Amino acid sequence: MTTTTKTTAPAPTGGTLPLPPGIARLLAFGGAAGTLLSTFLSWTYTEEFPGNLTVYGYPGGLQLLTLTGALLTLAFLLSGQGLRGLRWLTPGGPNSAVRLLALGTLGVTGYTIGAIIKNLGGLINVDPGGYIAVTMALIGAVGALGLPSDVPQDADHPPANPWEQLVHSLKAPAPGRLKDHPGWVEILIISTAFALGLYLFTFGIDTDYPELFVGFMVLVAFLFPALGRAGLTGQLGQLTAKHRNVTVTAAFVAAFVFPFTQSNDAYATIGTNILIFATVALGLNVVVGLAGLLDLGYVAFLGVGAYTAALVSGAPTSSIGVTFPFWAAVLTGAVASLIFGVLIGAPTLRLRGDYLAIVTLGFGEIFRIGVQNLDGTSGPDITNGPNGIPNIPEVEILGFNLGEEHTILGFELGRFSNYFLLMLVCTIIVVTIFRRADQSRIGRAWVAIREDETAARAMGINAFRLKLLAFALGATLAGVAGTVQAHVQYTVTPEQYQFVEAVPPNSAFLLAAVILGGMGTVSGPLIGAALLYLIPAKLQFVQEYQLLLFGLALVLLMRFRPEGLIADRRKQLEFHDTGQLDVPKEDTGLNDKVGV
């Protein structure tokens, strides 16, 4: 006797709002087009609001962000209609991306009108063009929410409420198999992607006023998920995996070009500090991301490298009184951090979990208090106590003084641009070490320890020795970054190396950068560190609420993307449903094979 099993195909699902697809598409088109046209109107009558939004026929300031969002929404809508030349925009489906872009456009437009009302003192300061923009953006968002989902829903488990319906409608389908292209075309695509990334990063750093930066971040916060929902980032990920060396080269070429795009050395300062922060975060990623060791005092190793460089680089207040060349100072700082890493790790790494975290947090505070007390009164006169070691000399390499302006290829590079290029070289070295370690037998053993230390020990892995090696390597990489930081900031003081400080890097922000970006990846901590440094640096007017906003951002991230912004395959499978059932819920036809 045989039985037949009836399979139920996934049912198509409508949008979050109950609108006919044709009406929803019409509203989305009309709203996006109307929003685009509204940017050519005046939004306020006075030039007191930055960006000059008073001109007819010439968008400016935040209007340009609304214009960009509306253009992208229209482009993805037309791609979904099969318009020749735009089909490549949505290999995974257009509607989820349109939904996000329409919401992002509404967010930027609404924020702009709200900022005008707040800064200028009332609704009277908004011109009719502003009201038209908000209305059309709202219509576009309503239409986008009514579009059918790109992902068919499970007929047995439909969304139970509008919130689940919205979450389902924003899911991304698989990007599909990457089409075969000539090698030079694929390399050109990767290069173009990094060029666009450089442009976005430069635009964010070069924003002249906080309102423009906030609007930029709102649009970017919706843009990148939209690209993922459309399948573009998935296919780009396949390309970068296929051409790993080209990808790394393109990334560092884009970073090398950055200082040549800056006319103001103040913006290059932000870039330099971001590289320092990112390099230290990548070192912490060895400890946390690969080996799974929760280190809450990692910033102390950065301080060891910085203080060592300050003592041996010929600073007037140095108690040692020696002057090493820069390469020797870097090696000395790295070795000092390595020694401290081994001394701290040897007695503590037999602990696990919360106990290890508490011990490392204590070490971080012991380091800060220790260098503060080495002032000749509470202890030996080594670090000049709370006053720190000021007037650290500039770096000279082959007669090239990084503290002076230099002309390269017709571009004037200031002090911080020079240090940016120096720090970029250090970052390349750290990335190379991280990649080699990750792909080695030791890296695989670290991952095994991170996933299940007991099972790793049972397989013959010497967990203590490998954890100590990870601790020492992470400390060494932090020490290298610390030697550059000491010269960039001219001085080192104990207050720079607290667990939580107003300005990163500190232990809390370093750990957050690794988790935010994606543990165990190369690009994740770099992106996470860039965001965590750039946002506070550009939003000085909310400095009193930084930690509150930081906490809210982490809560939202852990809720909606716990694997981080750039996650490896293992983390994606760990935190998200893969669609595979542990136990078959229906008859799979096995009975037919045995003749039941």
Q: Above 70 in pLDDT, residue 5?
A: no
Cβ neighbours, 10 Å, residue 106: 26
pLDDT digits (tens, 9 = 90+) for 212-259: 999 999 999 899 888 888 888 888 888 888 888 888 888 889 989 888
Nearest alpha carbon to residue 478 among 540, 430, 409: 430
Band of residue 210 on the pLDDT scale cut at 50, 70, 90: confident
Torsion of CA 79, 81, 83, 86, to 10 degrees: 10
**Is residue 586's pLDDT more than 80?**
no
33-59 pLDDT, tens digit each: 999 999 999 999 888 898 889 989 889
| pLDDT score of 502 | 55
Residue 596 has pLDDT above 50, yes or no: no
Taking the C-alpha atoms of residue 570 and residue 563, their distance in angstroms, rounded to an integer, is 9
Q: What number is the average pLDDT over the span 6-33? A: 73
Tens digits of residue pLDDT in 402-423: 888 877 777 788 888 889 999 9
Which residues on adjacent β-strands are paired with residue 411? 408
- Asked if residue 381 has pLDDT above 70, the reply is yes
pLDDT value at residue 170? 59
Q: What is the per-residue pLDDT across 170-194, written as a single tens digit (0 to 9) for each?
A: 565 555 566 677 778 888 988 999 9
Residue 94 pLDDT exceeds 80: yes
Residue 532, CA distances (Å) to 279, 503, 510, 525, 594 in order: 13, 10, 9, 10, 60
pTM for the predicted model, two decimal places? 0.82
pLDDT, one tens digit per residue, over 422-443 is 999 999 999 999 989 988 999 9
Give me the helices (H) in 374-452, please.
Answer: 415-438, 441-451
pLDDT of residue 1: 43
Percent of the chain with pLDDT over 90: 29
Say which residue the tokens 């099969």 belong to.
82
Under the banding of pLDDT at 50, 70 and 90, the label for residue 68 is very high
Q: Is the pLDDT of residue 6 over 80?
A: no
Full 3-state SS string of 171-230: CCCCCCCCCCCCHHHHHHHHHHHHHHHHHHHHHHHHCCCHHHHHHHHHHHHHHHHHHHHH
Mean pLDDT of 266-292: 89
Residue 566 has a pLDDT of 80
CB within 8 Å of 492: residues ≥ 6 apart: 303, 306, 307, 310, 388, 389, 392, 485, 486
pLDDT at 581: 45
Q: Give the residue with greater pLDDT, 419 vs 15.
A: 419
- The overall average pLDDT reported for the chain is 83
Return the percentage of the chain with pLDDT > 70, whole number.
86
pLDDT for residue 225 = 87
Highest mean pLDDT pick, 27-41, 444-458, 555-569: 27-41
Predicted pLDDT at 595: 40
| Distance separating alpha carbons of residues 382 and 155, to the nearest angstrom | 71
Structure tokens at 159: 């969304």
Angle at 75 between CA 73 and CA 77, to 5 degrees: 70
Confidence of residue 469 (pLDDT cuts 50, 70, 90): very high
Cα-only R_g, the chain: 27
Give pLDDT, residue 169: 57
| 118-162 residue pLDDT tens | 988 888 899 999 999 999 999 999 999 888 876 666 555 555 555
Look at residue 476 in the predicted model and tell me its pLDDT.
Answer: 94
* Four-residue CA torsion sign, 568, 574, 576, 582: positive
